[in-house]
Amino acid sequence: MVMFTIPAGKADDGLKQTILSVYFHDHSSGSPDSTVRAVVGFPGKLWNLTQFGTLFVSDDPLTEGPDPESAPVGRGQGIFVTTSLDGVNTHVSLSIVFTNEAYNGSTIQVQGNSDQMKAVREYGVVSGTGKFRYASGYVTFENFSFNSSISYAVIRCNISIHHY
C-alpha cells in the first residue's frame, strides 16, 4: 500500500480532508538500534508493555509501504505508558513528523488510550502543524507483521483528518 492523499473539495469553512496510510517500523529488542525503549517503571517490577506504570519512548521510522526499504515518509516520535492495572490499556501521545517532500516539516499529533491487545487500535488526532495545521480526526494502528525473534513489528497507520 502506498501513501496517498485525497483532498476533499473545500467546504465553506476552508477545511480539507486528507487520508494517508504509512508504516511504522518498530524495533523493541533493547539493543542499541531499538526505536522503542522502556525508560521508567515501578521498582522491582518488569518494565514491559503489560506492566502497569511502565513508560516507553519511541522514534520509529515511517515508510510508504511495509518494506523497510520503501520510500521514507518521516518518524513516529512519542511516549506510551501502560495505564491500566491489568496491563491492557496504553495511553499514547505521539507526533507523526513528516520528512518527505510532500509534507516536510508538517506534523500530526495523536493522543488517546486504548486496548493494546486489539488487532486495530484507534486514537484521536488532536492537532497538527504545517500542511496539517489545526488537524482533527483519527488514526488506526494495526499490526501488519511481527517477528518475535528480533522484536520487530511493522504497524500500518491509517490517518483520516480534516485540516486547513
Give the model confidence (pLDDT) of 4-14 as tens digits.
Answer: 555 555 555 78
pLDDT at 1: 40
Mean pLDDT, all residues of the chain:
91
- Mean local confidence (pLDDT), 26-35: 84
Identify the residue whose cell numbers are 521514507: 72
3-state secondary structure of 131: helix
pLDDT at 31: 78
Residue 108: which of 158, 37, 36 has the closest Cα? 158
pLDDT of residue 18 exceeding 60, the answer is yes
- Measured CA to CA, the distance from residue 7 to residue 38 in angstroms comes to 38
What is the pTM assigned to this prediction? 0.87
Q: What is the percent of the chain where pLDDT is above 70? A: 93
Domain positions in the chain? 29-163
Terminal-residue alpha carbon distance, the chain:
26
Residue 133: which of 96, 99, 104, 162 has the closest Cα? 162
Tell me the backbone φ, ψ of residue 47, rounded to 5 degrees: -95, 95
Per-residue pLDDT of 64-119, as tens digits, reads 999 999 999 999 999 999 999 999 999 999 999 999 999 999 999 999 999 989 99
pLDDT at 2: 47
Residue 90: which of 110, 61, 76 has the closest Cα? 110
Residue 10 neighbours by CB distance under 10 Å:
11
